[in-house]
Structure 1
Amino acid sequence: MTIQSSLKQARVRAGLSLSDAAKKSGIQRSNIAAIENGRRDPTASTIQKIANAARVRLIPVTSDGKTTVAEASAVLADAVQQNNIRRAYRVLAQVANDLTAPNPADRFVLAIEPPAQISPEWDAALAGVTEWRLSQAQLPLPSWVVDEHGNQGWNWTPPLSAASSFIPVDIENVPGPLRKRGVLIEADEFASA
């Protein structure tokens, strides 16, 4: 996720319109819109002013090449929109892998920013994978994970092929945080990714 998209997400989460953000930051509304839409590269001081208006703090962290859940969700959303379910599934598996970072603080930082909304099922899958991996390290859950309930009655599996719905899933091998959201992906599927 770019700084521009993070700033836009923060502004929207803070309930600020472009006009409100302009008043609070002292940056012209049109400049904020241009920054958020990637038509203008902001200076560090402009980023700081917009972040302050949205009541967020941007903190640089070492990523060691791992992708945040928020960044991955944008790629996943693009894959789903293009009906490239295999790519979307690989992104989900990569999230599961990245959230096994040895340092628990790194795991939490990768998961803290809310992801883009994709579809009810994919949103539930992202939240389930995130809860599963953070719980393994006994970490607290970001509010976006807690708020994403899915639907236990879905029994949803990513439609990787026409036969996907006919392939049996061993429910005992589905991590609890996925199962309770109605997402049926066995833990071994993430290990082989």
Structure 2
Amino acid sequence: MNFDSYASDVMAATVEAVNQLTPGHARGRDYPAARPDLGDLVGEAAVSSEDVDELRAYAFKIREIFVAVDDNRIDDACEATNTLLAETQAAPTLSRHGGEPWHLHFHTPSERWARGWAAPMATALAIVLGNPMHDRLGVCTATVCDRVFVDVSRNGTKRYCSTACQNRVKAAAFRARKQV
């Protein structure tokens, strides 16, 4: 399942930001989100703790959109996405930098780092929610895990954020069957 190259790439970054920046549970353990590993989001940028905190505030709002979709509250998810689009002032802009060809951004080149990520994340969410496959946004169903994911499988039946959670659930079910 590929929404389009832009939305798919940004949705991957969105999942990374939400899962790294919001506390909860991950793979059976408490996840405090105290030391996020933002990997590709940071890249070569000099990112301050204030930048990370600003993106964290957006990540909490985005998490609520995933939860709303997972709870089949599509109207709530769409309204929250519209609010986020307005808040981030997401607007298509053609940009060229770093020797790259012209390409599409949804923020101005002078935008602060966090909003520069939040605006395209809001746009990608809008693309997904405006698509018949909007139910591909989900929250892990494994016990003691609340990480979000985008189901890119062919049949749209993904229920876990990772193979680790899927294996954990399968192993627990196997152990339960063996005890009977």
Q: What TM-score do the two structures reach when normalised by structure 1?
A: 0.30
Based on CA coordinates, which of the two structures has the bigger radius of gyration?
1
> Which protein is richer in strand relative to its size?
2
Q: What TM-score do the two structures reach when normalised by structure 2?
A: 0.31
> Which protein is richer in helix relative to its size?
1
Tell me: higher relative CO, structure 1 or 2? Use CA pairs within 8 A at least 6 residues apart: 2
